[in-house]
Amino acid sequence: MTETATREFSTVGVIGLGTMGAGIAEVFARNGFTVVGVEQNDVGLERGRQHLEHSTGRAVKREKLTQEQADELLGRITLTTDMQDLAGADLVVEAVVESLEVKKSIFRALDDIVRPDAVLATNTSSLSVTEISTANAKPGRVVGVHFFNPAPVQNLVEIIRTVVTEPDVLADVQELLRSLGKNPVVCGDKAGFIANTLLFGYLNHAVAMYEGKYASREDIDAAMRFGCGYPMGPLALLDLIGLDTAYEILDTMYKQGRDRLHAPAPILKQYVTAGLLGRKSGRGFYTYEAPDSPVVVADAHTPSADDKPRLHHDIKLVGVVGTGTMASGIVEVFAKAGYDVLFTGRGQDKVDGVVATITKNFDKQIQRGRATEEQKSEVLGRVRGTTSLDDLKDVDIVVEAIAEDLAIKTTLFENLDEICKPGAILATTTSSLPIISMARVTKRPQDVIGMHFFNPAAIMKLVEVVSTVATDEAVTETVLALCDRVGKVAVKCGDRSGFIVNALLFPYLNDAVKMLEAHYATADDIDTAMKQGCALPMGPFELLDVVGNDVSLAIQKELYLEFREPGFAPAPLLEHLVTAGYLGRKTGRGFRDYSAR
Ligand code: CAA
Ligand code: NAD
């Protein structure tokens, strides 16, 4: 049943003017509402004021607001430490710390302050809205309105409906949020709702990866930005969210679902206890110029200029084995960067195919005015193809990108070990196989390394440089420096399933499938939540259909086998889609049907 909006909202109260509350107050004031902002003391009030002034000041600087509009906006907001000032509010949004007790005490107190028809909302990220609502004498007028950080930027708002929320309250709040230009998605009262349930497993996993020293904070963040196009890496995002808030969210989610993957990584608690709360306190995983500043400054963990990787090997001639999508992209990357490239294929037609692909890519660029005929002939002049592996005898490094099959790859490494000159680096671009197994069949395990390029290799910036327990440090450094020379962002990690990106990405995608399977939300709502709440370039189901469900299932199975983590078990629905042949865009049907499009 669709209700039509019945209430007029003009005065909105916001309780708590921290990271979220100040942003929420700004959203309402920007849309012409009168706002009463409440803080617990003058210090909180001053911080809230600064937050608002800073945010509107930035909008003026970027010419999104005139100074006059900014002054008007701020003029619509009254700041107070007295909750009684909320007496005239039509709607109150609570955005205080993520504590059930504090929130309940506020909803209890509001009974004696606001009008009986005022709507009450909580911005909780994970706590039970039902439980918060029961602290009020009229729980039917309570809803969750879960804004995303930064509230003025993200369009998603999750509206949490409890079993007692009155339908007209829900309809009115939906209408109100739409009038603010937000996109409300209604969901049930379950810890984490849609977006946090999917986001926080991923964030917590990234913290565990950092805590376990699998990769540096900079590399974990760069991997997700440059490998997946995320607007920020997980550790920088946690700093933006606030580590205390993040801890509470994970703790609540763990207590409700008992999923080990939501048990907050121990280091989070240590940061919170030490008062390192992220951006808001000026230090979290990173150090900031000042509290509430987004500007990261160097600290004891920042790599210094001396740490910049150097080339310990003289690299002139690069070998590539393979003629598929990845191999031809890799040939193009090195040739464009000025290296002579010798690649091998299993037949002349395949070899010619690589040259044809690079030529086609160039022609497209020339048509768009981004390259010239001279550049094309220069680059193609540096590329030579052969059908004989033996021709690789003089290369300084060889990168293989052949079939993802351990037996085929180990045979190749045995051959390369025989053929390539001593000291040549042997690199594999495998996404999932143990690199040490390839190193083991050679007499030079110290020279074997992973270079995990992303598809399309010519465009995607990231390369995961994967060292095994046997890889020589000078070889790792050389490959990192080489990536830099060819314009890639290289991150360093160890030889385990999924490296950084796939290990963080696929369990999140799998969790999305589990959520769909549990009928908590639709694929459309889940995709919308992740795109408009967290600014991800694609929703999980869009991405799964692009990647291919068979590929995703294979990766998820590898992760499950390696880490034996019950939460990594592939979602049965993913397996069923693969069995049914619904592999995604490539078969015309996956989570969505593309046949009619
Ligand atoms: N307040 C208000 N506006 C802000 C802002 C802030 N704190 N930070 C950035 N902006 C605005 C800027 O003014 C700018 O606006 P215009 O385009 O109108 O000029 C715009 O956002 C882009 O900002 P920048 O150019 O400075 O920076 P950017 O492009 O790197 O974007 C970002 C910064 C918006 C934070 C972006 O990196 C992003 O969207 N990151 C993902 C954030 C995310 O995942 N949020 C969800 C967290 S989970 C959550 O919120 C739920 C929970 O319960 C914990
Ligand atoms: P925060 O720590 O930045 O701000 C909380 C503010 O509430 C502080 O300024 C504090 O002084 C104030 N406060 C505490 N008790 C109060 C009281 N009794 N009366 C008035 N003010 C009081 O926290 P935050 O990140 O803004 O989180 C606020 C709420 O929003 C939490 O429920 C959180 O889970 C949720 N949330 C957070 C994010 C995020 O990314 N940080 C996103 C969405 C939702």
CA-based R_g, the chain, Å: 27
Residues 201 and 168 in one domain: no
Mean pLDDT of the chain: 96
Structural domain contains residue 310: no
Question: What pLDDT sits at residue 427?
Answer: 98
Residue of minimum CA distance from atom 1 in ligand 1? 150
**Residue 91: its H or E element:** strand 91-94
Structural domain contains residue 1: no
Sheet with 448-453: strands ordered across: 383-386, 340-344, 317-321, 397-400, 425-428, 448-453, 462-467, 489-494
Distance of alpha carbon 235 from its chain centroid, rounded? 10
d(CA 25, ligand 1 centre) in Å: 16
- Residue that the structure tokens 């617990």 belong to: 40
Residues 513 and 549 in one domain: yes
Both tokens assigned to 203: 């964030």
Cβ neighbours for 214, distance < 8 A, ≥ 6 positions apart: 493, 494, 496, 500
d(CA 524, ligand 2 centre) in Å: 29
d(CA 22, ligand 2 centre) in Å: 9
| Ligand 2 binding pocket mutation candidate from 20, 103, 105, 107 (most atoms within 8 A of CB) | 20
Ligand 1 nearest atom to the CA of residue 26, by list position: 2
Residue 45: strand, helix, or coil: helix
Residues 237 and 293 in one domain: yes
Spatial distance between the Cα atoms of 429 and 479, rounded to a whole number of angstroms: 13
Residue 452: strand, helix, or coil: strand
Residue of minimum CA distance from atom 31 in ligand 1? 231
| Ligand 2 binding pocket mutation candidate from 26, 96, 104, 105 (most atoms within 8 A of CB) | 96
d(CA 580, ligand 1 centre) in Å: 40
Residues in contact with ligand 2 (CB, 6 Å cut-off): 15-21, 38-40, 44, 95-98, 102, 106, 123-125, 146-149, 241-242, 245, 280
Nearest to 260, CA basis, from 567, 570, 511: 567
| Ligand 2 binding pocket mutation candidate from 97, 99, 241 (most atoms within 8 A of CB) | 97
> Phi and psi of 386, rounded to 5°?
-150, 160
Say if residue 2's pLDDT is above 70.
no
Residues 169 and 121 in one domain: yes
* Catalytic residue list: 125, 146, 158, 196
Residues 201 and 290 in one domain: yes
Question: What pLDDT sits at residue 568?
Answer: 96
In this predicted model, what pLDDT tens digit does every residue of 489-543 receive, in sequence order? Answer: 999 999 999 999 999 999 999 999 999 999 999 999 999 999 999 999 999 999 9
> Picking from 1-5, 255-259, 286-290, which range would have the lowest pLDDT averaged per residue?
1-5
Question: What pLDDT sits at residue 587?
Answer: 93
Spatial distance between the Cα atoms of 286 and 278, rounded to a whole number of angstroms: 7
Mean pLDDT to the nearest integer, 277-282: 96
Residue ending a domain, choose from 467, 494, 521: 494
Say if residue 4's pLDDT is above 70.
no
Partnered with residue 122 across adjacent β-strands are 94, 144
Structural domain contains residue 274: yes
Residues 265 and 327 in one domain: no
Residues 173 and 231 in one domain: no
Spatial distance between the Cα atoms of 148 and 25, rounded to a whole number of angstroms: 13
Structural domain contains residue 3: no
Question: What pLDDT sits at residue 13?
Answer: 98
- Residue that the structure tokens 């690299």 belong to: 315
d(CA 295, ligand 2 centre) in Å: 22
- DSSP-assigned letter for residue 317: E
Residues in contact with ligand 1 (CB, 6 Å cut-off): 23, 55, 58, 62, 64, 125, 148-150, 152-154, 196, 199, 231-232, 237, 241, 533-535
Mean pLDDT to the nearest integer, 146-168: 96
In this predicted model, what pLDDT tens digit does every residue of 45-75 receive, in sequence order? Answer: 999 999 999 999 999 999 999 999 999 999 9
For the range 481-484, what are the long-range contacts, defined as Cβ-Cβ under 8 Å and sequence gap of 24 or more?
481/308, 481/309, 481/310, 481/311, 482/311, 482/315, 482/397, 483/451, 484/309
Cβ neighbours for 552, distance < 8 A, ≥ 6 positions apart: 506, 509, 510, 544, 574
Residues 16 and 136 in one domain: yes
Structural domain contains residue 309: no
The full DSSP string for 152-200 is TT--EEEEEE-TT--HHHHHHHHHHHHHTT-EEEEEES-TTTTHHHHHH
Residues 34 and 137 in one domain: yes
Question: What pLDDT sits at residue 307?
Answer: 83
Report the share of the chain in percent with pLDDT over 70.
99
Residues 148 and 15 in one domain: yes
Question: What pLDDT sits at residue 270?
Answer: 98
- Residue 555's domain comprises 507-587
3-state helix, strand, coil in the chain (%, to 5): 50, 15, 35
In this predicted model, what pLDDT tens digit does every residue of 360-416 receive, in sequence order? Answer: 999 999 999 999 999 999 999 999 999 999 999 999 999 999 998 999 999 999 999
Compute CA distances 48 → 35, 64, 79, 498, whole Å: 13, 21, 9, 42
Residue of minimum CA distance from atom 35 in ligand 1? 150
Residue ending a domain, choose from 494, 526, 543: 494
Structural domain contains residue 84: yes
Structural domain contains residue 384: yes
Residues 347 and 458 in one domain: yes
Ligand 2 nearest atom to the CA of residue 122, by list position: 32
Mean pLDDT to the nearest integer, 150-171: 96
**Burial of 87: CB neighbours in 10 Å, binned 0-12, 13-18, 19+:** middle
**Burial of 93: CB neighbours in 10 Å, binned 0-12, 13-18, 19+:** buried
Structural domain contains residue 4: no
Spatial distance between the Cα atoms of 241 and 278, rounded to a whole number of angstroms: 8
Partnered with residue 318 across adjacent β-strands are 341, 397
> Phi and psi of 285, rounded to 5°?
-65, -35
In this predicted model, what pLDDT tens digit does every residue of 102-124 receive, in sequence order? Answer: 999 999 999 999 999 999 999 99
| Ligand 1 binding pocket mutation candidate from 51, 153, 237, 279 (most atoms within 8 A of CB) | 153
Residues 336 and 385 in one domain: yes
d(CA 238, ligand 1 centre) in Å: 13
d(CA 61, ligand 1 centre) in Å: 16
- Here the CATH number for the domain that contains residue 231 is 1.10.1040.10
Residue ending a domain, choose from 494, 526, 561: 494
- Here the CATH number for the domain that contains residue 431 is 3.40.50.720
Residue 406: strand, helix, or coil: helix
Say if residue 3's pLDDT is above 70.
no
Residue of minimum CA distance from atom 21 in ligand 1? 153
Q: Could you give the number of structural domains in the chain?
A: 4
Question: What pLDDT sits at residue 1?
Answer: 44
Mean pLDDT to the nearest integer, 558-568: 95
| C-beta separation of 345 from 354 below 8 A | yes
Strands 317-321 and 397-400: parallel
Strands 142-147 and 34-38: unpaired
Question: What pLDDT sits at residue 597?
Answer: 65
Residue of minimum CA distance from atom 8 in ligand 2? 18
In this predicted model, what pLDDT tens digit does every residue of 501-513 receive, in sequence order? Answer: 999 999 999 999 9
